[in-house]
Amino acid sequence: MLSFFAGLGLGLSLIVAIGAQNVYVLRQGIRRRHVIAVVAICALSDAVLIIAGVAGLGYLLESMPWLINAARVLGAVFLFGYGALAARRALRPGGDALRADEGADRTVTSALLPVILTALALTWLNPHVYLDTVLLLGSIAATHGETRWFFAAGAVLASAVWFTALGFGARYLGRWLDTPRSWRILDALIAVVMIALAVSLVLPVITG
């Protein structure tokens, strides 16, 4: 049980930090668009990566650092594009509004495939996910010996709990996001975060 709670605590401490995944889950939760799908993709993806790390994939990545660099470049390109789209939404006259989204939900079902692809890209093209789940959690799990899978179970539970709370708890922010101006501010913040993350990803590749 000590290993389980160690994995739970470390998993939460790593995943709570602001990142591309969290920002996207938060936005989808506020918009109430395909929240179950987004939460499931992020949580299951984390579970797969954590299990892979505990099983020893982290050692393979350490021996082939070019894989991380490739993920950095691809992730930076994707995040920059997503940030540019958010900036465009922020600058667009009228912007979005929660009331408008809710009204649209009653008449038109938004496309699920783009949401799924975006959630997958923000997870699997983000090298920080590999560094945190596969390398870091995998390395620490190895120190727990025979109880390393209890450690992994705790980390998987932490991921599932966090994404569920973030996705379904975000709707309570709706009272502050019921005007186009509020959504433009939110999209502006998302644009800054995404572009900053893109720069942070590609900078080590350029300077290294």
Per residue in 163-186, pLDDT tens? 999 899 887 876 666 667 777 887
Please name the helix (run of DSSP H) or strand (run of DSSP E) that holds residue 68, with its range, or none.
helix 65-91
Check: CB of residue 123 under 8 Å from CB of residue 45.
yes
Amino acid at 204: P
CA atoms within 13 A on the CB side of 141: 31
Pairwise CA distance, residues 152 & 155, whole Å = 5
**In the prediction, which pLDDT does 172 show?**
80
Angle at 156 between CA 82 and CA 148, to 5 degrees: 135
- Which of 3-12, 43-52, 112-121 shows the lowest per-residue confidence on average (mean pLDDT)? 3-12
Does the pLDDT value for residue 34 go beyond 90? yes
**In the prediction, which pLDDT does 113 show?**
92
Dihedral, 135, 125, 41, 142 alpha carbons, nearest 10: -10
Mean pLDDT of 148-160: 91
Check: CB of residue 7 under 8 Å from CB of residue 154.
yes
Share of the chain above pLDDT 70, in %: 78
Per residue in 56-101, pLDDT tens? 766 666 676 776 677 678 778 877 887 888 888 788 755 444 443 4
Share of the chain above pLDDT 90, in %: 18
Check: CB of residue 34 under 8 Å from CB of residue 182.
no
**In the prediction, which pLDDT does 186 show?**
75
**In the prediction, which pLDDT does 41 show?**
95
Structure tokens at 57: 């994939």
> Pick from 158, 161, 162, 149: which is nearest to 1 by CA?
149
Please name the helix (run of DSSP H) or strand (run of DSSP E) that holds residue 105, with its range, or none.
helix 98-107
**In the prediction, which pLDDT does 60 show?**
66
Amino acid at 43: A
Domain boundaries of the chain, sorted by first residue = 2-207
Please name the helix (run of DSSP H) or strand (run of DSSP E) that holds residue 117, with its range, or none.
helix 112-124
Pairwise CA distance, residues 155 & 7, whole Å = 4
Check: CB of residue 30 under 8 Å from CB of residue 135.
no
Check: CB of residue 11 under 8 Å from CB of residue 54.
no
Average of per-residue pLDDT values in the chain: 78
Structure tokens at 42: 């992020």
**In the prediction, which pLDDT does 163 show?**
92
Per residue in 192-205, pLDDT tens? 877 887 888 788 77
Please, which pLDDT band fits residue 40 given cuts at 50, 70 and 90?
very high
